[in-house]
Amino acid sequence: MTPGEPEPGSGAPASELEAARQRADALRTLIRHHNHRYYVLDDPQVPDAEYDRLVRELQDLESRYPDLVTPDSPTQRVGAAPRPEFTQVRHRVAMISLDNAMDDGALAEFHRRVASALPGSDEWVFTAEPKLDGLAVSIRYEGGLLVQAATRGDGTTGEDITANVRTIQNVPLRLLGSDWPAVLEVRGEVYLPHAGFERLNAQAAARGDKTFANPRNAAAGSLRQLDPRITAARPLRFCCYGWGEIAADPGESQFAMLQRIAGWGVPVSRELCQVTGLPGTRDYFDDLGRRRDALGYDIDGVVFKLDRLPDQVALGATAHHPRWAIARKFPAQEALTVVEAVEFQVGRTGAVTPVARLAPVSVGGVTVANATLHNLDEVERKDVRIGDTVYVRRAGDVIPEIVRVLPELRPADARAVVLPAACPVCGSDVIRPEGEAVARCSGGLYCPAQRKEAIRHFASRKAMDIEGLGEKLIDQLVERELVREPADLYRLTQGQFAGLERMGEKSAANLIAALEQSKETSFARFIFALGIREVGVATAAALAARFDSLEALMAAREQDFLRTSGLRGVGPKAAAAVQSWLLEHPDAQAAGDLGEWLMAQRIPGLNRAAAVALGRGCETLERLRAAAPEDLYGNSAALVEGVGPVVAAHLVGFFAQAHNREAIERLIAAGIRWPLRSAPSAAQAQPLAGKTFVITGTLGRARDAVKAELESLGAKVTGSVSKNTDYLLAGVEAGSKLAKAQELKVAVITEQQLAQLIGRS
């Protein structure tokens, strides 16, 4: 091609196109600079009119020369055409939540745990920053360009909101500088400042549209618009508080790494700083609390993180939260309202829970009309009556609850809250066992409320994992009396499913196939699917590992779950109090019944129940003097991980009921089965004792089920790879943890190799 000849497809001479390309590149660089000054630093260098002129010039160039448009151009923030649905994004590094400290004592306990785990100093340095009340997102950059953004979702999988996040003005589409890593996932909060929220609601009101209740709802709703142009019209902001996958060494310091991220143009909190020790965290919390209303955006607390990254790795994380960070929450906001009625709801396990219906009131920007009362003990303790004026708050800024009653404002016709004699759903008797706070419907699976919840639980992903059997479909099955218990699901025909709302022949066929596939399960999943109170995924896995058959589990008694010693009803404090008193009174002589004599001595810390138990257990003062403390107070050792006295009682009670045993028999008759195994010997029961595992990548089974199985076999499962890690269990798309394990020469194994290791292959 000769100089000056138009480039193919451009319609313009090469020299003209090159000049346009250079000018467009210069404009993009200049606009990015002014964006950073305005949206991140709040320090604009040019008037709005000049900024608008630069943008219009770039838009004009890109309009005349479409080949010049780049994905990271500032003009591309306006958003693309609406998309039909969101796709799922699997986080390469899980986005786990933070543990909360609701008061100063909990914050002090967090410091104590850190000091205990990392001995050597009490003056740990923490990063401190506001806990923004918005929506957590992860933004991924590759080669410095924004390539993907996703919501937190369930921590493992979120929704792809890339097109919407690209419209947020302070999110760089291209990182500044040139020393950024090849891959960088920044984690942070998308929020709506107060000024933007007020402007958004004013515009909605002027149009006659519904207004938002609070900035957080507005931000969350804005990010989940299928049309990015709607998101682009809303003044959202982003603030980075951390990172996920990163193709570089983040160094030694959380604070320093965040400063590096800020240098690449990603906004971090202006309130971010370092504090030292418990006094420093308290001072920061108090100071920010005083300035909370003047910040210009909603926060619900303060986040403290250990600053040294090696210390974070050493402490690791639970399945739910890192051990090296804590969110110190602000006190929930309260408001006065009136209890207009109290109704009772029935849950999956039959729990009959009182719910207060309130005169609607705004609490922290959210209209509250209902508040849980938990149980009758709570109602009696707070003396809540219908007609009372009460303080209501959103506990943890989430769940509305009644804090206290103002009895001085109680009307003369206020009515006491009375437990109904019959279930409000099915009419069965409501029973409240002696000594228990929770009342329960006796209808079991015959109660529609319990029936729906029991079947939802049975079909859930961590239980039988029946794909396609959703909440609305279960509602129809129960309401049409096609299903009264889980076993009925396996007797339904394709024609019965196809006759339901929103179900066609293909959907019905897929559901029949999913039901058939669910029959092949694991013993642990089946136990969890039964919905036994207090038996979660981990406990179900431990029970499956401990018992070699369903028959053995159903025949078990409390002594098969627990090893007990001491005297029931005597606590360690009461035992210590009695023995301390006896040492101070070596000449004391008992007369008559030992328990009554002990009560007569008025020993501090000893109540009547403990005194009676000591009298019955020891009979004489001489035996009591000779007993060791651990021989006196009632204590138990779990023979199965996660099964204490309460869970053991629930297990025994569940299998003791004839209708539960019959329901299980019908499930087995329907074809549900799992691989059988022989009972493990004592040596086999804990083959992984003392071993530390880390899990990464996508596994063939749910990660929490694998974790539960490892822990039931004696292993410790942590969240971070270190020199103390024995094995890295790696699935598909293993990320930075795999690289770390290889660097530290940690053994890396697959699921198949794990099965061989524990003798399951």
- 302 DSSP β-pair partners: 130, 328
Query: Can you list the alpha helix ranges (DSSP code H) found in 224-276?
Result: 228-232, 254-263
Q: Which residues pair with 299 in a beta bridge?
A: 132
Stretch (H or E) spanning 112: helix 104-117
Give the residue among 434, 481, 437 at the shortest CA–CA distance from 455.
Answer: 481
List, as one string, the DSSP characters of 660-692.
HHHHHHHHHHTT-B----PPPPHHHH-TTTT-E
DSSP letters for 74-105: GGGGG--S--S-PPEEE-SS------EE-SHH
Output the 3-class SS for 368-428. Answer: EEEEECCCHHHHHHHCCEECCEEEEEEECCCEEEEEEECHHHCCCCCEECCCCCECCCCCC
Amino acid, single-letter form, for residue 304: F
Catalytic residues: 131
Instruction: Give the C-alpha separation, 557 to 560, whole Å.
Output: 5
Nearest residue to 251 (alpha-carbon basis) of 197, 178, 312: 312
Can you tell me whether residue 562 is helix, strand or coil? strand
Backbone φ/ψ region at 364: left (φ over 0), alpha (ψ -120 to 50), beta: left
DSSP 3-state helix, strand, coil percentages of the chain (rounded to 5)?
40, 20, 35
What contacts 637, CB < 8 A, 6 or more positions away?
562, 563, 564
Q: Which two structure tokens, joined as six digits, stand for 158?
A: 């979120």
- Kindly state the tokens that stand for 236: 């959202």
Are 430 and 421 in contact by the 8 Å Cβ rule? The answer is yes
Contact between 57 and 27 (Cβ < 8 Å): yes
CA distance 311 to 281: 18
Q: How far are the Cα atoms of 69, 444, 528 from residue 457, in angstroms, in the given order?
A: 51, 14, 9
Q: Where are the beta strands (DSSP E) in 24-90?
A: 88-90
The 8 Å CB, 24+ separation contacts for 394-400 are 394/332, 394/333, 394/363, 394/364, 394/366, 394/368, 395/332, 396/100, 396/102, 396/329, 396/332, 397/133, 397/300, 397/329, 397/332, 397/333, 397/364, 399/372, 400/363, 400/368, 400/370, 400/371, 400/372
The tally of CA atoms less than 13 A away on the side-chain side of residue 301 is: 20
Q: Using CA atoms, how far apart are residues 499 and 512, in angstroms rounded to an integer?
A: 14
How many angstroms separate the CA atoms of 199 and 179, rounded?
38
Q: Which residues of 716-735 are buried (b: 16+ CB within 10 A; e: fewer)?
A: bbbbbbbeebebbbbbeebb
Q: Are 324 and 305 in contact (CB under 8 A)?
A: yes
Q: Which residues pair with 76 in a beta bridge?
A: none
Quick check: 729 and 695 in contact, CB under 8 A? Answer: yes
Among 599, 606, 600, residue whose Cα is nearest residue 580: 606
- Name the one residue in this structure whose structure tokens are 């923004």: 132
